[in-house]
Amino acid sequence: MLGVDLIIPDVSYLVERSDRVRGILITHGHEDHIGALPHILPQLNVPVFAPKLAHGLIAVKLHENRATRGISAQPIEPGVDYQLVIHTGDFKIDHTPVDGHTIDLNTLAHYGNEGVLLLCSDSTYAEIPGYTASEQILGGALDRAIGDAPGRVMVATFASLISRVQQVIDAAASHNRKVAIVGRSMADNVSMAAEMGYLDLPPDTLVSLNEIRGYSPERTVLITTGSQGEPTSALVRIANKDHRDVSVMEGDTVVISATPIPGNELLVSRTIDNLLRQGARVLYDRIALVHVHGHASQEELKMMLSLTRPRYFVPVHGEYRHLMAHAKLAWDMGLAESGIFVLEDGDVLELSEDGGRVVESVSAGPIFIDGPVTRDVRSEVLRERKALARDGVVVLVVSVDGQTGQPASPTKVLASGFMDDSETDDLFPRLSVLIDDLVKDRQEFAEEPERVKNLVREAAGRFLQTEARRRPTIVTVLLES
C-alpha cells in the first residue's frame, strides 16, 4: 500500500548503542521472524544466533539480497549454554511433531525449579480455549486428500514451513506421485533444507517442473507459494491465468494448507474464488482439515507458565488484545499483577530486586521500505500519497509578466486522478479565469511570489471544493516571463 514494499521495526535505538548489543536471537525461520534481517543487518552489524534450520532459511534470505551477501548467522547447537531469559518464540506443545523432536518440557521444568526471572511467551492464540492440534493429525488428512484426488494436486503453504513440505512429499510418495516445486522462495528453501538434512526426500520423488509434465496428472503433486493470496505469488498467478508454466486443468485439486493471517482474508478469498471459477476443486481451512495452527492455545500457555514459574511475565507476539488475554490467563493462575507487563513496541522494562517498571519508551517503528529508501510514520511523502489516492492532483501553471505582475498567458490547468476529462471540460476553464482574475488584482507578485502562490492554491482549493466537492492535492507553478 502507498508504494510500501515491507514494514520493519525501527532499530535506531539499538544502532546507537550497538556496542552494547550482544546479538540478535532468532527463534525460528518463519518470514515474520526473519524477514527484516536483510534490512537491519547492514545497519546493526551484530551476531545473529539461530537454530540450525532457521540458520539455513536466513542464509537463503541474506543471499537473495545484495546488501547482505556475505553476512551470516551463527547456528545454535542444542545443549550449548547461553545465559538469557526464557523466550518461547512461536510454540505449541506437540507431542507428535513431524520431525519427531518433541518440546523439551523437562528442561523447562528444571529451569522453573532453579528460578526464572522473566518469561516472554507467545500470545497469538491466547484467546483460544483448550489445546492446539498436533501436526500429526494433518499428516493423515493431507495423505487422504492427495490419495483421493482424481487428478493433479497443488498444495500451497508458507515457503518457510519445511515440516509441512515434508508432510506433502511423504503423502505424495505414499501414493506414488511425483512432486515439483513452484515459486522461487519455496524452491530455494526446499533445496537448502534437503541439503541440510531437514527434508527427507524419498528417492525419485522430487522432479523439476519441466520433468513433471511427462507424468499424467493423477501421478503428480505441485507445492507452491501463495497460501496468503500474495499478489505476485505462484498460486495467485495460476488463479489469475497469469503463470508462465502452470495453468489450472480439469480435475485439479488445490489444497490451501494455511489459515489467512489477519488482513489477508480478502486476498485469500479472491484466490479461492478464481481457482473455483477455473473448475478446480479447492480444499481450504473452512471446509477441510488442511492446516493446524503453530501457536499454543490457552491450556498450553498455562502449562508453560506453570512449568517455568517466572517471577516476571511479558506476553509477546500478537495484537494488543492477545497480550491482554494472555496477561489475564497469567493473572488467573495467581501471578501477581505487579509482575505482569503488557508492553507496547519500544517500551523499556527495567527489572530489579525491588520489582519491575517501564522506565521509558523509545522509538521502535514501524519503518516502511519504500523502494530503495526507508520512511517512518511521520513521512510527508506517505501522507501526500494518501491524499493523492483519495482525490488526485490538479496542477496550475500561472505565467506572470515580471515587469507588470499581470498574467502573461491564461493559467493552464492539468490533472491526474481527479475527475474524468468530460467532467472538467467546463470546470477547468472557469478555474483558469478565476486564477487569472486573482493574479490581475494582486500587485505584490514581484516582492512576494510565495504569497501569491499560496493565494492561488487556496482559491483553487475553495473553488474545487465548492464546485466538485473534492479536495485534490494542488501543485502550483508560478512562471515569470
Give the footprint of its own copies on this chain (CB under 8 A). 1-3, 127-128, 262-263, 265-266, 269, 272-273, 276-277, 282, 284, 286-287, 319-321, 324-325, 371-373, 375, 379-382, 384-393, 395, 397, 399, 408-409, 412, 414, 416-420, 423, 468-470, 473, 475, 477, 479, 481
Which of 79/129 has CB closer to its own copies? 129
> How far from 91 is each of 102, 115, 132, CA to CA, in Å?
11, 21, 10
Q: Which is nearer to its own copies, 311 or 385 (CB)?
A: 385
DSSP assignment of 248-285: --TT-EEEE-S-PPTT-HHHHHHHHHHHHHTT-EEE-T
What is the three-class DSSP state of 342?
A: coil
- Of the pair 390, 462, the CB lying nearest its own copies is at 390
Q: Which is nearer to its own copies, 213 or 277 (CB)?
A: 277
CA 420 to chain centre: 36
The end-to-end CA distance of the chain, in Å, is 41
Q: How far apart are CA 350 and CA 355, in angstroms?
A: 8
Of 127 and 245, which has the nearer Cβ to its own copies? 127
* Helices (H), ranges, 149-233: 162-174, 184-196, 209-212
Distance of closest approach, residue 124 Cβ to its own copies, in angstroms: 12
Shortest CB 41 distance to its own copies, Å: 21
Do β-strands 153-156 and 178-182 pair in parallel, antiparallel, or remain unpaired?
unpaired
CB of 468 to its own copies, least distance (A): 7
Characterise 62 by phi-psi region: left (phi > 0), alpha (psi -120 to 50), beta (else): alpha
**Shortest distance, CB of residue 128 to its own copies, whole angstroms?**
8
CA nearest neighbour of 302 among 132, 101, 65: 132
Q: What is the smallest separation between the CB atom of 476 and its own copies, expressed in angstroms?
A: 9
- Which CB atom, from 287 or from 359, has the smaller least distance to its own copies? 287
CB of 464 to its own copies, least distance (A): 11
Closer residue to its own copies in complex, CB, 39/178? 39
Q: DSSP string covering 194-214, please? A: HHHTSS---TT-B--HHHHTT
As measured in angstroms, the least distance from the Cβ of 427 to its own copies is: 12
